[in-house]
Amino acid sequence: MTKIYINGKFFDKADAKISVFDHGLLYGDGVFEGIRIYDGKVFRLPEHVERLYDSAKHIALDVPLSREKMTEAVLHAVEVNAKKDGYIRLVVTRGAGGLGIDPRKTTDPQVIIIVDDISLYPRELYENGLEVITSSFVRNHPNALNPRIKSLNYLNNILAKIEAVRAGCLEAIMLNVNGEVAECTADNIFLVKRGVLKTPPPHAGILEGVTRDFVIELARAAGVPFQETTLTRHDVYAADECFLTGTGAEIIPVVKCDGRVLGPGKPGPITRQLRERFHQAVRQGADGR
């Protein structure tokens, strides 16, 4: 049975509760991380913890645990749940307060760790490829809510996801305020053109994904030419290959966008190579800690 960690104690799923006055619930005031477990090892935990604290610092949220204690708590939660392969949702909320947005009126930030399973896409799509659309909802302006903050406020992404589902797709590309490709609702995006791997830079309005960074490392180690560069819808439509990366998604190919077939309409050689290298690396524990 799943045991949920809340502030140092474990609860059965049915008994895992926080206050309805918590500002994480009322206003999306908090931060989180999604982390994978492979063969009993937590994948890139230091990087996830670092990003969690960076996000918290940006929104002036004092995390009630040190980085070291947070790391220990995550590993303990994995051990308690005896999860060999799975997913961790690490959440820090502002805590309970009154019915008003003033964070000074909140107390007791909540640290929540959920260890469970995740499956974002049907298995056959990893072999045959995914169809996506371009969403009409743009990525948040960095001066409004910086996309580099992994906050509990995901409404921007959710609206784009709803639009994708209504169009018969499972994912949507989101542009930034300049009309450039940023990322998808829950994943980063990569293109391949004439053998060169390309992805939008951080200033394009993306969340710098941990899996994204790992895939870049794998590409460089394999000698695949790589560029962080501005991309447009034209670059997507004209790409030879396209794939998405994310903690839940891992690496999933994209073969169609806005009704246009990308490349040959099937996962390309660089996509397949990087997927193989990714799975080999995580299973061997190369970057699982």
Average pLDDT per 10 consecutive residues for the chain, totaling 289 residues = 95 97 97 96 97 98 97 98 96 96 94 92 94 97 93 96 97 97 97 98 95 98 98 98 96 98 97 97 66
What pLDDT, on the 0 to 100 scale, is given for residue 118? 86
Determine the CATH number of domain 3-116: 3.30.470.10
What pLDDT, on the 0 to 100 scale, is given for residue 1? 83
What pLDDT, on the 0 to 100 scale, is given for residue 289? 39
Contact between 209 and 246 (Cβ < 8 Å): yes
In a 10 Å sphere around its CB, with 0-12 CB exposed, 13-18 middle and 19+ buried, how is residue 99 labelled?
A: exposed
Cα distance between residue 283 and residue 220, in whole Å: 20
Q: What are the φ and ψ backbone dihedral angles of 56, each rounded to 5 degrees?
A: -60, -40
Task: Match domain 123-284 to its CATH number in 3.40.190.10, 3.20.10.10, 3.30.70.980, 3.40.50.150.
Answer: 3.20.10.10
Residue 144 β-bridge partners: none
Cα distance between residue 115 and residue 78, in whole Å: 6
Token match 């929540």: residue?
A: 112
Cα distance between residue 242 and residue 263, in whole Å: 8
The segment(s) of the chain belonging to CATH 3.30.470.10 are 3-116
What pLDDT, on the 0 to 100 scale, is given for residue 284? 79
HSE, side-chain direction, 13 A CA sphere, residue 220: 8
C-alpha distances out from residue 176 to 81, 134, 142, 181, 283, Å? 40, 11, 9, 6, 35
Cα distance between residue 73 and residue 130, in whole Å: 36
Helix (H/G/I), strand (E/B), else coil: 119: coil
Residue type at 80 in one-letter notation: V
What pLDDT, on the 0 to 100 scale, is given for residue 9? 97
The residues that are catalytic are: 150
What pLDDT, on the 0 to 100 scale, is given for residue 288? 43
Burial 23-53, CB ≥16 within 10 A → b, else e: bbbbbebbbbbbbbbbeebbbbbebbbebbb
The segment(s) of the chain belonging to CATH 3.20.10.10 are 123-284
